Amino acid sequence: MTDTTLIVTKDLKKIYPMGPHRIEALAGVNLSFDKGEFAGLVGPSGSGKTTLLNIIGSLDSPTEGSAVVMGRRIEALTHKEAARLRSHHIGFIFQTFNLLPVYTVYENVEFALLLLGDPPAERRRKVMAALDWVHLADRAKSKPPQLSGGQSQRVAIARAVVKEPDIVLADEPTANLDAENSHNILQTMERLNRELGTTFIFATHDPKVMQYLRRKITLVDGRVTKDEAVDGRGAAAATAQGAGL
C-alpha cells in the first residue's frame, strides 16, 4: 500500500442468507485502487460488481475480510462514520440517476455541499463550476423531470464531483442512455478524472464504458478472474495486477 492507495480490499467476502441457503456474492476479493484511477468492474449480472462497489462506498459491510477506504476500515464504521465518509470522500453515480425530483438542477448539485456545511458563496461558486464541467449551467433552474436522460446523468455527475471527492463510484452509469449520450458522459467523466485527479470506479457490462477504462477488473461469481490495465480505448495492456493473477 502506497501513499496514493485509496482503497484496499483483503479476502473480502459478502454472503447473503436466502432462506436455508447462503449466496456468496463476493468470495475473497483482493484489490487495491490508487488515486486517479479510471477503473471498471466488469462481468455478468450477479458477478458481485455492485456488491463490491457498495462495500467500497460504505453502503454495505463485508461478511468477512476487510475493506479499507481512505484509511478507514469499512466493517468497523458506525452508521454515522459511514455517512460521514460518503458525504466527504465519495461521490455516487447511479444507473437511474437518482436525482431529488423536487429540487432544481442547481439545488440537486448544491445538496452535496449543504451536507458539508460550505458557506453559501463557496457553494454557489462550486455548483456553477460543476455545472459548467457538465455543460448544464444554462439548465440550473430546471427540474429533473424537464431533463433528458443524458442531461439527468450529467447532473448526477455534477452532484458526485461538486464536492471534489477522492472517489466516484458509478454503477452502470450508461445503462439508461443511448450511445451518443453514453459517450458524452464518459468523456465528461474522463475529463474530470484527468483534470481533478478523481478516482473513478465503474460497475458495468456496457462495452461503451469499457472503451474508456484504463483498468478493467473482471468478476465472475464473486471472484476476480482478470485484472488488467487497458489503454483507455479498448486495447488490453499486458500488465495484470492484484487478485493473485
Partner 1 sequence: MTILKLALKNLLGAGLRTWLNVFVLSLSFVLIIFTQGLLEGMNKQAEEAMVASEVGGGHFQHPAYDPYDPLSLTDAHGPVPESLAALAAAGHAAPVLVIQGTIYPEGRLFTVRVKGIDPGQTVVNIPTSFLATASAADEIPVLIGSRMAKMTGLKKGNTFTLQWRDAHGTFDARDATVVEVMKTSVQTIDSGQVWVPLARLREMTGFDGQATFVILARDAALPAAGAAGGWVLRGRDDFLSDLRAMVESKSAGSSILYTIFLLLAMLAIFDTQVLAIFHRRREMGTLMALGFTRGKVIGLFTLEGMLNGVLAALVAAAYGVPLLSWIARTGWALPGDMDSYGFAIGERIFPAYGLGLVAGTTALVLLVTTIVSFLPTRKIAKLKPTDALRGRMT
Is the Cβ of residue 116 or residue 237 nearer to partner 1 in the bound state?
116
**Cβ–Cβ < 8 Å for 126, 115:** no
Total of chain residues touching partner 1, rule CB under 8 A: 24
Q: Should residue 94 be labelled a site residue for partner 1 when binding is judged by CB under 8 A?
A: yes
What is the C-alpha R_g of the chain? 18
Residue 200 touching partner 1 (CB under 8 A): no
Q: Interface with partner 1 includes 245 (CB under 8 A)?
A: no
Q: Which of 24, 32, 70, 103 lies at the binding interface for partner 1 (CB under 8 A)?
A: 103
Coil, strand, or helix at residue 58? coil
| From candidates 30, 32, 98, 142, binder to partner 1 by CB under 8 A | 98
**DSSP string covering 108-172:** HHHHHHHTTT--HHHHHHHHHHHHHHTT-GGGTT--GGGS-HHHHHHHHHHHHHTT--SEEEEES
Q: Which residue in 1, 23, 76, 114 binds partner 1 (CB under 8 A)?
A: 114
- Alpha carbon distance 65, 79 (integer Å): 19
Taking the C-alpha atoms of 200, 91, 179 and 232 in order, what is their torsion angle to the nearest 10 degrees?
Answer: -10
* Residue 121 binds partner 1, judged by CB under 8 A: no
Which span (63-71, 81-89, 181-189, 224-232) binds partner 1, by CB under 8 A? Answer: 81-89
Residue among 82, 216, 108 at smallest CA distance from 161: 108
CB of 240 to partner 1, least distance (A): 30
Q: How far is the CB of 231 from partner 1 (least distance, A)?
A: 31
Q: Closest distance between partner 1 and the C-beta of residue 85, in Å?
A: 9
**69: which 3 cell numbers?**
477506504
Q: Is 102 in the site for partner 1 (CB under 8 A)?
A: yes
Q: State the Cα–Cα distance between residues 96 and 84, nearest whole angstrom.
A: 24
- Out of 7, 33, 48, 86, point to the residue binding partner 1 (CB under 8 A): 86
φ and ψ at residue 218, rounded to 5 degrees = -95, 130
Which residue, chain included where needed, has cell 483534470? 195
Binding of partner 1 by 54 (CB under 8 A): yes
Q: Which residues pair with 33 in a beta bridge?
A: 7
Half-sphere exposure (CA, 13 Å, Cβ side) for 209?
26
Amino acid at 83: A
- Write down the least CB distance from residue 84 to partner 1, Å: 7
According to the binding rule CB under 8 A, does residue 179 interact with partner 1? no
Q: How far is the CB of 159 from partner 1 (least distance, A)?
A: 8
Residue 88 CB, nearest approach to partner 1 (Å):
8
Positions that interact with partner 1 (CB under 8 A): 54, 57, 59-60, 79-80, 83-84, 86-88, 92, 94, 96, 98, 100-103, 111-112, 114-115, 159
